[in-house]
Amino acid sequence: MTEEGSLTLFQQQDANRRRTIWLIVCFVVFFAWLGFGGDYVYFLATAHAPPAEQHRVWWLGFVMVGLGAVLAWYAYRTGPEKVLWATGAEEVIEPADDQQKRLVNVVEEMAIAAGVPRPRIWVVPDPDPNAFATGNDAAHAHVAVTRGLLDLCNRDELQAVIGHELGHVKNLDVRLMTTLAALVGAILLMRNGASRMFVGGRGGSGRGGRKSDLGPLVILLLIAWILSWILAPIITQLLAMAVSRKREYLADAMGAQFTRNPLALARALEKIEGAGAPTTRIKSGAAHMCIADPLGGHLAEREGMLADVLTSHPPMAKRIAILKGMGYAQLKREGGTIP
């Protein structure tokens, strides 16, 4: 387990609150760099131009700070709805079939076991088995499962998966992970807009045919500024992956604690891992929120620095082995038969 696994529940919650605040602050600071950095590059580029052409009012910085603050607030407030909308999830208000009735009963039971309000329940119309939780706190949480998970898992296994997701809810992992997912989407939109601006822009001569006199410092700063636009979505996604990878072990343990049946979660993860196709409804921006990596990939089964940076989930084989170890130890204590 990680060092975070030794923290108490309240310490976990406080840590996730702090991380969410710092994430939003860093997001706004990044937009400040995009704005004031662009202003500074423009200021240096026009320093030797006639006074009428010099860049004196750094309006871009103030605009970008305001835009970053608005986007961060919007992402935080509407992140859960945007994630659910992006996956095509359908809310279960009145169960439409026996599978949905079982799902509602299981979520209600696990909410009582976890000591949290019953979250809203959603089904993603995807045949690949997976599940995720989203929301800003336990009182406004959502749990979503794919149709494939309902088809694949028996009641005990479904209960274990829901327990895992409610572990994320109870720890306030959902707040941090949902905010990350929403900010990834916001930065992608901004990057796409900036790409069109760069492609549509015209280089060359200044007013009156005068060529801009760009020194080495201006060129370096301009390159760094442009790279910031290009790399921002990648960096944010890598951050989301690292955040998720460290939390899956703890959510597994909490799910096992809520159900008192770690072997059921191990069996569920084995079935999910054995499914062939990736989850097509859940895109890369929300992959870190799922119980299993919806994108697939061989690197997910490895450990080490590279895997920590480039994959959203720890190795499934290791998670299953830990859960089986917990289950066998429990059976031994209770005098049961090891399957």
Q: Which residues are catalytic?
A: 165
Looking at residue 24, its amino acid is: I
| Closest alpha carbon to 37 in 75, 65, 1 | 65
Torsion region of 132: left, alpha or beta (phi above 0 gives left; psi -120 to 50 gives alpha): beta
8-state DSSP, 299: G
| Closest alpha carbon to 99 in 75, 138, 125 | 125
Is the separation of the CB atoms in 2 and 250 below 8 Å? Answer: yes
Q: CA-based angle 168:243:122, to the nearest 5? A: 40
